[in-house]
Amino acid sequence: MQNRRVGPDPAVQQRATAALLLALLSLFGLLGLSNLLRFGNVHRLSYVVACTLLVAVLAIQLASTAITRARRGGTRSPRGSVLTIVIGSIGVLLSAILLIGFVVFSKQLATYSQCLSGASTHTAQQACQDQLTRAVRSQSAGR
């Protein structure tokens, strides 16, 4: 007779599924950041990144507790729980890096956003991009 573990409790599986959706939501939230920057919403940008960070942390916590509850119940880990922890960790890492970048380069990003809001041609947008690149390089060099 084989010793097969039964599937997780439905509530635990639902927790893991909710965690996976939250982890994916955190990554999709990061995808929309360029639109906020393009339309001059630099202040909202930091709030969105902070929210994606919190959602990713919540996803990791939910997936971890789902795994723990399944182990305590003597059942298999819920499907997708390990993947959720990986995706959530990526979301946390990217959000943290972006938040640090916003803090360090907030002045340059505000100038860039203001420049982009007035740029109507591709050439003008490229000039804004070049200006941002020069400003970030000078800030990074410590000038």
CB 79 within 8 A of CB 13: yes
Mean per-residue pLDDT, 15-36 = 90
pLDDT tens string 86-140: 999 999 999 999 999 888 888 888 888 888 878 888 898 899 889 989 998 888 8
Largest CA distance in the chain: 73
- What angle is formed at CA 25 by the lines to CA 47 and CA 19, rounded to 5 degrees? 115
List, for residues 36-55, the tens digit of each pLDDT value: 766 666 778 888 899 999 99
Cβ(88)–Cβ(63) below 8 Å: yes
Higher pLDDT, 102 or 15: 15
CA nearest to 11, candidates 58, 72, 52: 72
Q: What is the pTM of this model?
A: 0.81
Q: At 19, which amino acid appears?
A: A
